[in-house]
Amino acid sequence: MPEYSRPNLMKYLPEYYQGVREMKKLQETASDEMGLFLYSIDDVLSQCFVDSGTWGLDYWESELGLTTEANMPVERRRESIKAKIRGSGTTTKQMIIDTASAFSGGEVAVIEYPAEYRFELRFIGVKGIPANMLGFIEMLEQIKPTHLGYSFKYSYTWWDSLKDLTWNSVRLMTWNELRVYE
Protein backbone atom coordinates (compact mmCIF):
# COMPACT_ATOMS: atom_id res chain seq x y z
CA MET A 1 0.00 0.00 0.00
CA PRO A 2 1.51 3.37 -0.97
CA GLU A 3 2.20 6.06 1.59
CA TYR A 4 -0.17 8.98 1.24
CA SER A 5 -1.58 11.68 3.46
CA ARG A 6 -5.17 11.51 4.62
CA PRO A 7 -7.04 14.81 4.94
CA ASN A 8 -8.83 15.50 8.21
CA LEU A 9 -12.43 15.73 7.04
CA MET A 10 -13.83 16.12 10.57
CA LYS A 11 -12.61 19.72 10.69
CA TYR A 12 -15.06 20.59 7.90
CA LEU A 13 -18.09 19.38 9.88
CA PRO A 14 -20.12 21.32 12.45
CA GLU A 15 -19.10 21.03 16.11
CA TYR A 16 -22.01 18.77 17.10
CA TYR A 17 -20.60 15.93 14.90
CA GLN A 18 -17.21 15.96 16.64
CA GLY A 19 -18.31 13.57 19.44
CA VAL A 20 -20.31 11.18 17.25
CA ARG A 21 -18.37 7.92 16.92
CA GLU A 22 -20.16 6.79 13.74
CA MET A 23 -19.46 10.11 12.03
CA LYS A 24 -15.76 9.88 12.95
CA LYS A 25 -15.59 6.36 11.51
CA LEU A 26 -17.41 7.47 8.35
CA GLN A 27 -15.08 10.45 7.89
CA GLU A 28 -11.98 8.28 8.49
CA THR A 29 -13.10 5.95 5.72
CA ALA A 30 -13.83 8.86 3.39
CA SER A 31 -10.48 10.41 4.36
CA ASP A 32 -8.63 7.20 3.43
CA GLU A 33 -10.36 7.10 0.05
CA MET A 34 -9.72 10.83 -0.57
CA GLY A 35 -6.04 10.43 0.34
CA LEU A 36 -5.67 7.47 -2.01
CA PHE A 37 -7.49 9.38 -4.75
CA LEU A 38 -5.22 12.43 -4.40
CA TYR A 39 -2.14 10.18 -4.33
CA SER A 40 -3.32 8.44 -7.52
CA ILE A 41 -3.81 11.76 -9.30
CA ASP A 42 -0.27 12.86 -8.38
CA ASP A 43 1.15 9.47 -9.39
CA VAL A 44 -0.53 9.54 -12.82
CA LEU A 45 0.60 13.13 -13.37
CA SER A 46 4.21 12.24 -12.49
CA GLN A 47 4.18 9.62 -15.28
CA CYS A 48 3.75 12.42 -17.82
CA PHE A 49 7.33 13.55 -17.17
CA VAL A 50 10.39 11.42 -17.86
CA ASP A 51 12.27 12.66 -14.78
CA SER A 52 9.52 11.58 -12.36
CA GLY A 53 8.01 8.66 -14.26
CA THR A 54 8.30 5.10 -12.98
CA TRP A 55 5.67 2.66 -14.25
CA GLY A 56 4.82 5.14 -17.04
CA LEU A 57 8.27 4.71 -18.60
CA ASP A 58 6.83 1.69 -20.43
CA TYR A 59 4.53 4.04 -22.34
CA TRP A 60 7.37 6.46 -23.13
CA GLU A 61 9.52 3.60 -24.45
CA SER A 62 6.67 2.20 -26.53
CA GLU A 63 5.88 5.60 -28.04
CA LEU A 64 9.54 6.19 -28.93
CA GLY A 65 10.12 2.69 -30.30
CA LEU A 66 12.54 1.69 -27.54
CA THR A 67 12.81 -1.80 -26.12
CA THR A 68 11.35 -1.98 -22.62
CA GLU A 69 13.72 -3.66 -20.20
CA ALA A 70 11.87 -3.75 -16.88
CA ASN A 71 14.92 -5.10 -15.01
CA MET A 72 17.03 -2.09 -16.04
CA PRO A 73 17.37 0.63 -13.37
CA VAL A 74 14.87 3.46 -13.73
CA GLU A 75 17.62 6.07 -14.17
CA ARG A 76 19.08 4.18 -17.15
CA ARG A 77 15.65 3.88 -18.73
CA ARG A 78 15.14 7.62 -18.26
CA GLU A 79 18.53 8.32 -19.89
CA SER A 80 17.53 6.28 -22.94
CA ILE A 81 14.19 8.04 -23.24
CA LYS A 82 15.70 11.52 -22.90
CA ALA A 83 18.42 10.69 -25.39
CA LYS A 84 15.86 9.38 -27.88
CA ILE A 85 13.80 12.57 -27.52
CA ARG A 86 16.88 14.74 -27.96
CA GLY A 87 18.03 12.60 -30.86
CA SER A 88 14.96 12.96 -33.07
CA GLY A 89 15.20 15.01 -36.24
CA THR A 90 18.21 15.82 -38.40
CA THR A 91 21.46 14.74 -36.78
CA THR A 92 23.73 17.65 -35.89
CA LYS A 93 26.85 17.98 -33.80
CA GLN A 94 24.77 19.60 -31.04
CA MET A 95 22.27 16.73 -31.11
CA ILE A 96 25.07 14.23 -30.58
CA ILE A 97 26.44 16.35 -27.72
CA ASP A 98 22.98 16.58 -26.10
CA THR A 99 22.40 12.85 -26.48
CA ALA A 100 25.81 11.96 -25.06
CA SER A 101 25.29 14.38 -22.16
CA ALA A 102 21.99 12.70 -21.32
CA PHE A 103 23.78 9.37 -20.97
CA SER A 104 26.98 10.48 -19.28
CA GLY A 105 25.55 13.16 -17.03
CA GLY A 106 28.48 15.42 -17.86
CA GLU A 107 30.08 17.62 -20.46
CA VAL A 108 30.86 16.05 -23.83
CA ALA A 109 32.83 17.37 -26.78
CA VAL A 110 32.44 16.20 -30.37
CA ILE A 111 35.43 16.62 -32.68
CA GLU A 112 34.63 16.21 -36.35
CA TYR A 113 37.00 14.78 -38.95
CA PRO A 114 35.05 15.40 -42.19
CA ALA A 115 37.81 14.23 -44.53
CA GLU A 116 37.89 10.88 -42.68
CA TYR A 117 34.08 10.56 -42.42
CA ARG A 118 34.19 10.15 -38.66
CA PHE A 119 33.85 11.99 -35.37
CA GLU A 120 35.22 11.56 -31.89
CA LEU A 121 33.31 11.89 -28.63
CA ARG A 122 35.29 13.08 -25.63
CA PHE A 123 33.70 12.64 -22.22
CA ILE A 124 35.08 15.65 -20.37
CA GLY A 125 32.72 16.15 -17.44
CA VAL A 126 32.84 12.57 -16.14
CA LYS A 127 35.95 10.55 -15.39
CA GLY A 128 36.11 7.01 -16.64
CA ILE A 129 33.65 5.21 -18.85
CA PRO A 130 30.03 6.35 -18.31
CA ALA A 131 27.81 3.71 -16.76
CA ASN A 132 25.39 3.11 -19.64
CA MET A 133 27.77 3.06 -22.60
CA LEU A 134 26.03 0.11 -24.24
CA GLY A 135 22.73 2.00 -24.23
CA PHE A 136 24.44 5.12 -25.53
CA ILE A 137 26.13 3.23 -28.38
CA GLU A 138 22.77 1.73 -29.38
CA MET A 139 21.23 5.22 -29.40
CA LEU A 140 24.19 6.70 -31.29
CA GLU A 141 23.84 4.01 -33.97
CA GLN A 142 20.20 5.05 -34.43
CA ILE A 143 20.78 8.79 -34.75
CA LYS A 144 24.12 9.15 -36.55
CA PRO A 145 24.40 9.07 -40.33
CA THR A 146 25.31 5.52 -41.31
CA HIS A 147 28.35 6.54 -43.35
CA LEU A 148 30.10 8.13 -40.36
CA GLY A 149 32.42 6.27 -38.04
CA TYR A 150 33.09 7.30 -34.45
CA SER A 151 35.41 6.74 -31.53
CA PHE A 152 35.44 7.61 -27.83
CA LYS A 153 37.97 9.27 -25.55
CA TYR A 154 37.54 9.17 -21.81
CA SER A 155 39.00 11.32 -19.04
CA TYR A 156 40.96 9.71 -16.25
CA THR A 157 42.88 10.93 -13.21
CA TRP A 158 46.37 12.29 -13.90
CA TRP A 159 49.14 10.79 -11.81
CA ASP A 160 50.20 14.27 -10.71
CA SER A 161 46.85 14.78 -9.01
CA LEU A 162 47.49 11.71 -6.86
CA LYS A 163 50.95 12.69 -5.60
CA ASP A 164 49.57 14.23 -2.39
CA LEU A 165 47.87 10.96 -1.38
CA THR A 166 49.50 8.49 0.98
CA TRP A 167 49.50 4.72 0.66
CA ASN A 168 47.35 4.51 3.80
CA SER A 169 44.69 6.76 2.29
CA VAL A 170 44.42 4.72 -0.91
CA ARG A 171 45.17 1.17 0.22
CA LEU A 172 41.46 0.25 0.35
CA MET A 173 40.77 1.71 -3.11
CA THR A 174 40.74 -0.38 -6.27
CA TRP A 175 42.69 0.48 -9.40
CA ASN A 176 39.45 1.54 -11.14
CA GLU A 177 38.58 3.85 -8.24
CA LEU A 178 41.99 5.52 -8.48
CA ARG A 179 41.59 6.01 -12.24
CA VAL A 180 38.53 8.21 -11.66
CA TYR A 181 39.56 9.76 -8.31
CA GLU A 182 38.64 13.43 -7.94
44-80 pLDDT per residue, tens:
999 999 999 999 999 999 988 888 888 889 988 998 8
Please enumerate in sequence order all residues whose Cβ is within 8 A of that of 20, keeping only pairs 6 or more positions apart, or say none: none
Amino acid at 87: G
Q: d(Cα 162, Cα 180) in Å, to the nearest integer?
A: 11
Whether residue 167 has pLDDT greater than 70? no
Rounded CA gap, 140 and 26, in Å?
A: 57
CA–CA separation, 131 vs 121, rounded Å? Answer: 15
- Name residue 118's amino acid: R
What digits encode the pLDDT tens for the residues 99-147?
888 877 778 899 999 999 999 998 887 777 777 788 888 888 888 888 9
